[in-house]
């Protein structure tokens, strides 16, 4: 089965609300990376969290990592319509192993 | 500093033709990765190259697909005798170092291949 599974697959919220996306993985990792992809575009790197870190912030983004549960979460606070995109977690080795992504829609 | 560049952005081929996808990494980056994305799916790793070397091609189909990253010029992903199942978005990424798990990969805008 696929590594780096995101949950939920799709999420629809109102502008201003918080959005939480979860990611589970199956093997030991060096780090986990989160990316955003706007429709029809390439991926934009959001944040990298190392295996010895538990939480990391970047602007309105907060990422947590629980290596005992092999899971990570991405929280976007005070969402905006421009946050509408697909969000992927990726286990980082020489290559990135991506999950299927969470499609986030933020309604104005 | 220009980002990762890919061309063409869109490519249409008929079954049996060849497709060549080009990727120029970010300035100073010598590590290039190719990924394929089918509609509504995540990206799947295909191949990892350094200048003049293929480091890991475990994700690339054994037949019809090849990749190179010459000393001079862009990296090329070549698909021979394309079939409809090759229709997908192909993304290239580059990184400064190849240290597994510690380096950020920067992605290009992708090439959307359509096979008629």
What's the pLDDT at B101?
56
- A45 and chain B: CB distance < 8 Å anywhere? yes
What's the pLDDT at B88?
96
What's the pLDDT at A2?
35
Q: Which of B101, B110, B113 to mutate to test the interface with A (most CBs of A within 10 A)?
A: B101
Q: Is the separation of the CB atoms in A34 and A101 below 8 Å?
A: no
Q: What is the pLDDT of residues A7-20, one digit of tens each?
A: 888 999 999 999 99
Strand ranges (E), chain B: 5-7, 10-13, 19-24, 31-37, 43-50, 53-56, 65-68, 75-79, 88-95, 106-107, 111-115
Q: What is the pLDDT of residues B61-116, one digit of tens each?
A: 999 999 999 999 999 999 999 999 999 999 999 988 876 556 788 899 999 999 99
What's the pLDDT at A95?
72
Rounded to a whole number of angstroms, the distance from the CA of A4 to the nearest CA of chain B is: 10
Would you call B101 and A101 a contact, using CB atoms and an 8 Å cutoff? no
Compute the distance between CA of residue B30 and CA of residue A103 in angstroms, rounded to an integer: 32
Compute the distance between CA of residue A25 and CA of residue A72 in angstroms, rounded to an integer: 8
The residue written with tokens 């799916």 in the block is B41
pLDDT band at B40 (very low <50, low <70, confident <90, very high): confident
What's the pLDDT at A8?
87
Instruction: DSSP for B44-70, please give it.
Output: EEEEEEETTEEEE-TTS-SSSEEEE--
pLDDT in tens, chain A (108 residues): 234 577 888 999 999 999 999 998 877 777 889 999 998 788 899 999 988 999 999 999 999 999 999 999 999 999 999 999 999 998 876 677 888 889 999 999
- B33 and chain A: CB distance < 8 Å anywhere? yes
- B98 and chain A: CB distance < 8 Å anywhere? yes
Pairing relation of β-strands A5-7 and A19-24? antiparallel
A82: helix, coil or strand? helix
What's the pLDDT at A1?
29
What's the pLDDT at A6?
78
pLDDT band at B22 (very low <50, low <70, confident <90, very high): very high
Instruction: List CB contacts (< 8 A) between B93 and chain A.
Output: 43, 96
């Amino acid at each position: 089965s696929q590594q780096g599974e995101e949950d939920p697959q799709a999420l629809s919220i109102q502008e201003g609300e918080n959005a939480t996306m979860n990611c589970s993985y199956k093997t030991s990792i060096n780090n986990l990376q989160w990316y955003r992809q706007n429709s029809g575009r390439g991926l934009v790197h959001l944040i990298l969290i190392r295996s010895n870190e538990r939480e990391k912030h970047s602007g309105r983004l907060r990422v947590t990592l629980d290596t005992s549960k092999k899971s990570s979460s991405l929280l976007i606070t005070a969402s905006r319509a421009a946050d509408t995109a697909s969000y992927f977690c990726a286990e980082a080795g020489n290559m990135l192993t991506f999950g299927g992504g969470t499609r986030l829609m933020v309604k104005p | 500093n220009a980002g990762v560049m890919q061309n063409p952005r869109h490519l249409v081929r008929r079954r049996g033709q060849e497709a060549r996808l080009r990727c120029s990494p970010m300035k100073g980056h010598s590590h290039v990765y190719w990924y394929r994305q089918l509609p509504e799916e995540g990206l799947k790793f295909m191949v990892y190259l350094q200048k003049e070397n293929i480091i890991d091609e475990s994700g690339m189909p054994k037949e019809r697909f090849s990749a190179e990253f010459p000393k001079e010029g862009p990296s090329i992903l070549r698909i021979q005798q394309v079939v409809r199942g090759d229709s997908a978005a192909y993304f290239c990424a580059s990184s400064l170092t190849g240290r597994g798990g510690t380096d950020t990969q920067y992605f290009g805008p992708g090439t959307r291949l359509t096979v008629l």
